């Protein structure tokens, strides 16, 4: 999986997370997300989706094996997507959570915080 395919897989995971949050909240959400990154030496860094992809993509032969994804907060109109890279050692794509589909695992937040700003 090259970086472009990895980016598409992450975008798909974000879309699924946003749809799940919309169902829970009963309203539509923006897709202008904030990614809250955990793992790989980071603990709660708010970054853009592109910055997350740049940090989470290793190479076309080595991948983090599991990356949890879920909407945990709405800040203003922007969903905050929790994205946690597991501490498993990187491996080939077939050893990832979803095999050849990549490392992204959907989680569901019990509560989604909503703030004005």
104 has a pLDDT exceeding 80: yes
48-67 pLDDT per residue, tens: 999 999 999 999 999 999 99
7-44: per-residue pLDDT in tens?
999 999 999 999 999 999 999 999 999 999 999 999 99
CA atoms of 61 and 92, how far apart (whole Å)? 6
Q: Compute the distance between CA of residue 84 and CA of residue 115 in angstroms, rounded to an integer.
A: 22
pLDDT of residue 117: 60
**pTM score > 0.85 for this model?**
yes
């Amino acid at each position: 999986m090259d970086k472009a395919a990895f980016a598409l897989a992450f975008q798909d995971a974000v879309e699924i997370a946003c749809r799940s949050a919309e169902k829970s909240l009963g309203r539509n959400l923006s897709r202008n997300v904030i990614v809250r990154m955990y793992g790989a030496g980071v603990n709660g860094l708010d970054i853009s989706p592109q910055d997350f992809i740049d940090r989470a993509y290793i190479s076309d032969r080595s991948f983090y094996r599991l990356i949890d994804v879920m909407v945990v907060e709405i800040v203003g109109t922007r969903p905050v997507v929790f994205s946690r890279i597991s501490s498993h050692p990187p491996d080939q794509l077939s050893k990832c959570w979803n095999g050849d589909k990549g490392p992204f695992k959907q989680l569901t937040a019990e509560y989604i915080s909503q703030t004005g700003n």
